[in-house]
Structure 1
Amino acid sequence: MLDNLTQRLAKVVKTMRGEARLTESNTAEMLREVRLALLEADVALPAVREFIAKVKEKAVGEEVIGSLTPGQALVGVVQRELASLMGADLGPEASQLNFATQPPAIILMAGLQGAGKTTTVGKLAKYLRENKKKKVLTVSADVYRPAAIGQLETVTGQAGADFFPSQPTDKPVDIALAALDWAKKHHHEVLIVDTAGRLGIDQEMMDEIRAVHSAIKPIETLFVVDAMLGQDAINTARAFSDALPLTGIVLTKLDGDSRGGAALSVRHITGKPIKFAGVAEKLDGLEAFDPSRMANRILGMGDILALVEEARKGVDMAAAEGLANKIKGGGKFDLNDFKAQLSQMKKMGGLSGLLDKLPAQMQAAAGNANMDQAEKNVRRMEGIINSMTAAERAKPELIKAARKRRIAAGAGVQVQEVNRMLSQFEQMQSMMKKLKGGGMMKMMRGMKGMLPGGMR
């Protein structure tokens, strides 16, 4: 997201050196670069003007202290104002969903057709079930789009939530009221109502969604907008903001847009907080939006907290503890354990997913590595292990020349690939032995040679 801004700022930071104070003259060039980057990222012109004015006001006269360069000091100001523009000034509670009502808490989803509303309902249902421990019911009031009701039923089932059936012949208001009645009788804590979208904004659509809103009085009305819309997102946001008392924004397809200007524009136009961001197609690809952390990622500072959360979600703690106890108890680290470690890495989003959340300097350090190739190597290693017998996985010392040829043929690779995988396994096995003796530092030093695909 906003890769261009990250690159431009990094370039200007290098050119601004040796000044003791930020002045109009030494910030002018950097602010020009920031303005151009924001406009190229499809941020609305009014938002750009206001942002630049605020950065200039806060920056000029600021002392450059400690080991900071003037460029780094200015990036600090830009980071704070960028976070503020995306909603940090509203406080941490603003991005949280409000459940302070008699159950069920009703969430109404609004937006244009194609914005990803229905998929987002499924993602949100999964998020509320798993992270907030809520009993969730979903319903589709979209009686116009073919298969919309069936699509919501499918994603709701995948999310593990409950679904209230509706018919294309029903009226949207009647559907919403019937679902609300069902939710009350069956003690659901949250009801999510998916509404119809259109290919464009029209009066009929706005009248209908206003009627649904008036009938069920939702505590949350979320505007779902495609981050790839660019300038069109601004007109859409304004129309929905005028028609409905929005409480928040959900940005979808944020992973597919390197410009990402909609994230800044929509927040500025509506004045409402961005509550969630869709960052992947999978049902767990919905993140609670944090303005400060997003500002860090835009400016190349990384998002280490997101990395920790990925680890917490992806790592099977029981399996990890079981492996640790096995090693401490004198058990040997075998190929089954090695394969489990590869699987954990994939659950955390793969190498490229992890790299995206690291600070720019660390990304640059790994820049020579081909992430796609590294991930292919991980899959190839899994394939090689899958071609082995249970006895070979448990006792790798059994694998001699004839077995290697059979394993290579089964995995569709050369024997050299099998040898390379076994070599990496032996390195990992050696490190696991050090764990038994408490040699954590030795193990960490040995890790640099373990990244697949030649990464160092």
Structure 2
Amino acid sequence: MFENLSERLSGILDKLTRRGALSEADVGEAMREVRRALIEADVALDVVRSFTDKVRNRAVGHEVLRSVTPGQQVIKIVHDQLVEMLGSTARPIDLEAPAPVCIMMVGLQGSGKTTTTAKIGKRLGDRHKAKTLLASLDTRRPAAQEQLRVLGEQNSIDTLPIVVGQTPTQIAERAMTAGRLGGYDVVILDTAGRTHIDEPLMLEMAEIKKISKPHEILLVADALTGQDAVNLAKSFDQRVGITGIVLTRMDGDGRGGAALSMRAVTGKPIKLVGTGEKADALEDFDPARIAGRILGMGDIVALVERAAQDFDAKKAADMAAKMKKGQFDLDDLADQLRQMKKLGGMKGIMGMLPGMGKMKGQLDGFDEKVFDRQIAIVQSMTPKERRKPELLAASRKRRVATGSGTRVEDVNKLLKMHRQMADMMKAMGKKKGGLLGGLGSMFGGGGMPDPAELEAMAKSGQMPQLPPGGLGGLGGGMPTLPRGMTLPGLGGPKGPQGPGFGRKK
């Protein structure tokens, strides 16, 4: 998300911080480069002009040009202006209404509306314990209603039974009745789409709105359509009256111009962004945190939220007890690798850590599938071999390599990495929970930090600092490592070197 824009803006602003004293001409030159970067990112021209004018007016002021750290002051101004352009504050889905709260999903065909409907249903259940009913009103697209039923079944969400021959308005009326009689907290209506906006579609949306009286009308728009998504939002808002926007496929849009333009052009908040196909690949759109990502400041709050979802207190306590005894077997290593995968892999973690975004380029050749291969190697061992890796003689290594579809050299590299990590874990015996506990240690305490507390820290500018010695405490490995330690595919303390285990061939 925003990868290209982030690289461009980080480079431009880095130049300012290295210059020391700044002149008005320096600021003007930087703003011209920022303007080009935003236009290349597909941000609407009017939005670009407004943004750069506001930044320039503030940046050439006396308090900046005479500042001890003028470059840093300009970065703060750019950050603040980005936050303002993106909507200033996060606007989550509003459930403050009498039950059942109706959420109406609208958008064009192919935007990911049905999948997003199921994702929101799962999110409301997991985070708010809301009893949710999904209803498909799409009678035009073949198997659309069946698709939502299957998605609901896969994610343990109730769906309205399909009645063949009913019109969308009849289904909406039946869904609201079922919501009231069934004691549901939320009813989500997945409406039909078209390949383009037409009058029959808008009339149908208006009729459904009249019947269901939705508390939220969310437009689902594909971020890959760029400025067309902005025009789409304006059209739907004029005819139906949307309350918010959900942008899908943000993981495939390195430019991000639609997200940057949409709030400024439509005045409607972006509430959620889809970042993948999985049911939990949906994130809150928080302007301050998104601005931090764009400027390479990371998003530690999002990283901790992801980790907290998978935090198992009992498993963390068991791991801490083993580490105090100097125990760290291959099953423990496999658990650490699985945790890293769940947090988005090496690149995902680095992109959210403060100051680490610029190091992601060191991982360009890194193959994230290395974690799967390493886990497969461990799973090809017997339980006794996992507990006592010293049993793995040459013949056993050949058997493990054959069983996991790898080479004996790969097995040797994994065993070497395990020995190094076991030594490190012994030194970390007082820190709890391996990878997830390591996140807690970044904040000077044990266990997982509270995301709400982190949010307050971020807003006050008091973001945590990484511990001395880097991120060795994350137990899955990150750059800045103890002397002599290597990571899967990261040839040594200075990052990827040579054709290591995790390098793409």
TM-score, structure 2 as length reference: 0.83
1:449 and 2:485 matched: yes
The answer to whether the 8 Å contact 1:144/1:168 transfers is: no
2:345 to 350, 361, 372: 350
| RMSD between superposed Cα atoms in Å | 2.3
Aligned length, in residue pairs: 447
Alignment partners' CA distance in 2, 1:224 and 1:434: 49
Give the 3 Å change call, closer, same or farther, for CA 5–336 of structure 1 in structure 2.
closer
Q: Deviations over 1:63-112 (max 9, x none)?
A: 23766343x32222111111111111xx44xx022222210111011111
Following superposition, the deviation at residue 129 of structure 1 comes to: 0.5
Please say if 1:206 is aligned against 2:207.
no
- Check the 8 A contact 2:326/2:422 in 1, yes or no: no
Counterpart CA distance in 2 for 1:377 and 1:286 is 25
**Is 1:434 aligned with 2:427?**
yes
SS in 1 for 2:246: strand
> Aligned pair in 2 of structure 1 residues 345, 4: CA closer, same or farther (>3 Å)?
closer
More displaced stretch, 39-48 vs 235-244 = 39-48
Residue 372 of structure 1 corresponds to 366
Looking at structure 2, the residues matched to 363 and 6 of structure 1 have their Cα atoms a distance apart, in angstroms, of 9
Q: Which runs of 5+ in 2 are unaligned?
A: 433-440, 442-467, 474-480, 494-505
Secondary structure in 2 matching 1:137: strand
Give ranges in structure 1 of 5+ residues lacking alignment: none
Change (3 A) 1:27 1:216: same
Residue among 269, 280, 284 paired with 2:276: 280
Structure 2 distance, partners of 1:315, 1:274, is 28
In structure 1, the partner of 2:388 is 395
In the other structure, the counterpart of 2:107 is 111
Retained in 2: the 8 A contact 1:43–1:231? Answer: yes
1:271 maps to which residue? 267
| Aligned-residue offset at 1:447 | 8.7
Q: Do the aligned partners of 1:141 and 1:166 also contact (CA within 8 Å) in 2?
A: no
Q: Which residue of 1 aligns with 2:322?
A: 326
Q: CA deviation at 1:181?
A: 0.5
The 8 Å contact of residues 251 and 274 in structure 2, kept in 1 or not, is answered as: yes
Moved more, 443-452 or 99-108: 443-452
Q: Which amino acid aligns with 1:387?
A: S
Are the equivalent residues in 2 in contact too, given 1:9–1:75 (CA < 8 A)? no
Taking CA–CA contacts closer than 8 Å with sequence separation of 6 or more, which of the two structures ends up with the larger relative contact order?
1
Q: Secondary structure at the match of 2:247?
A: strand
| Residue of structure 2 in register with 1:31 after alignment | 31
After TM superposition, give the deviation of residue 337 of structure 1 in Å. 1.6
- Per the alignment, do residues 210 and 275 of structure 1 end up closer, same or farther by CA in structure 2, a change over 3 Å counting? same
2:178 paired residue among 156, 178, 182: 182
Moved more, 425-434 or 361-370: 361-370
Cα distance between partner residues in 2 of 1:257 and 1:410:
38
Tell me, yes or no, if the aligned pair for 2:132 and 2:188 is still in contact at 8 Å: yes
What's the CA shift string for 1:209-261, capped at 9, x where partnerless?
Answer: 01101111111111111111112112211110101221111111111111111
CA shift for structure 1 position 164? 0.4
- 1:301 corresponds, among 288, 297, 304, to 297
Name whichever of 234-243 and 9-18 sits farther off.
Answer: 9-18
1:33-432, aligned counterparts within 5 Å?
Answer: 33-64=33-64, 68-70=69-71, 72-88=72-88, 91-92=89-90, 95-167=91-163, 169-328=165-324, 330=325, 332-359=327-354, 361-370=355-364, 372-373=366-367, 375-432=368-425
Letter in 2 for 1:280: G
Alignment partners' CA distance in 2, 1:239 and 1:220: 17
The AA in structure 1 aligned to 2:425 is M
Q: Secondary structure of the residue that 1:192 maps to in structure 2? A: strand
Secondary structure class of the residue paired with 2:166: coil
CA contact (8 A) 1:277 1:286 kept: yes
For each residue in 1:98-153, what CA deviation from the matched residue of structure 2 results, as whole angstroms up to 9, or x when unmatched?
Answer: 22221011101111111111110011011101011111100011111111101111
Q: 1:369·1:453 contact (CA, 8 Å) conserved in 2?
A: no
Residues 271 and 447 of structure 1: is their aligned pair in 2 closer, same or farther, counting only changes over 3 Å? farther
Q: TM-score, normalised by structure 1?
A: 0.91
Contact conserved, 1:20 with 1:63, CA < 8 A, in 2?
Answer: no
Separation in 1 of the partners of 2:265 and 2:13?
30
Letter in 1 for 2:490: G
Distance 2:110 2:228 in 1: 13
What is the one-letter code of the residue matched to 2:338?
A: S
Letter in structure 2 aligned against 1:11:
G
Tell me by how many angstroms 1:401 deviates.
2.3
Task: Pick the structure with more helix per residue.
Answer: 1
